[in-house]
Chains A and B, each alone.
Chain A
Amino acid sequence: DSGVTQTPKHLITATGQRVTLRCSPRSGDLSVYWYQQSLDQGLQFLIQYYNGEERAKGNILERFSAQQFPDLHSELNLSSLELGDSALYFCASRRGGAATNEKLFFGSGTQLSVL
């Protein structure tokens, strides 16, 4: 158990809908990362938050947004969903924001299916 909790584990929705994925980082970790994993694109970095503030942005679509709350949990909001958004979404955490010698701890992911 990595200590990172993601809910829900599975989500099935329709095109055009909006969903929210939730992540609770390991106790004491200030950074939360969101990744999207699909067969064709591999593991894509979406966005990072550190202690409530956006720290780095990757290949995140404008239809997607995220935030980190004062209790450090994070939510990834996906709107106007398309079939191509179907993927496994991972949250990962680590203690620091820019420490390059730290490993990431991954949650078990949310499998999103857009029908």
Chain B
Amino acid sequence: SQQGEEDPQALSIQEGENATMNCSYKTSINNLQWYRQNSGRGLVHLILIRSNEREKHSGRLRVTLDTSKKSSSLLITASRAADTASYFCATDAYKAGTALIFGKGTTLSVSS
């Protein structure tokens, strides 16, 4: 079963715009991670946020975490065509953190 669920499933924007993706999860977590997948390729880690953190930045990425609402958001600012990919959140609630459980992802299309 999926622990994280991303929203929206698909997002289309123009270059230069901001993209926001949301993730909701069901049980308590120690941390939440975001990954990116270019079409048909392996996932690449973007950022990790711990349960005691509320916001984290990495370059053009901003991640927030609201443990009371069991939700997280990923903001990509000033999007580029190269940001076109699928984005997944992953939580560590399964089997005492041994496994990361991924949502179904948000597919982002950035057009120039």
Contact = CB atoms under 8 A, between A and B. Distances in A.
B104 A98 contact: no
Contact of B42 (A48, A99, A100, A107): A107
Interface string A29-61: 000010100000011010010100001101000
Contact of B31 (A4, A101, A108): A101
A109 B31 contact: no
Interface residues of A, number: 28
A2 B98 CA distance: 20
A92 B90 CA distance: 13
Given A42-B102, A43-B88, A43-B102, A100 B97 contact: yes
> Interface range on chain B: under 10, 10 to 19, 20 to 34, or 35 or more?
20 to 34
Interface in A56-84: 56, 58
Q: Is the interface of B mostly helix, strand, loop or mixed?
A: strand
A42 B2 contact: yes
* Residue from A33, A43, A109 with most neighbouring chain B CB atoms (10 Å): A43
A39 to B, nearest CB: 10
Interface in B31-62: 31, 33, 35, 40-45, 48, 50
Contacts of B95: 48, 55-56
Given A4-B42, A58-B99, A101-B48, 5 more contacts: A43-B102, A58-B94, A103-B45, A103-B48, A104-B35
Interface of A: 2, 4, 33, 35, 42-43, 45, 48, 50, 55-56, 58, 88, 90, 92, 97-101, 103-109, 111
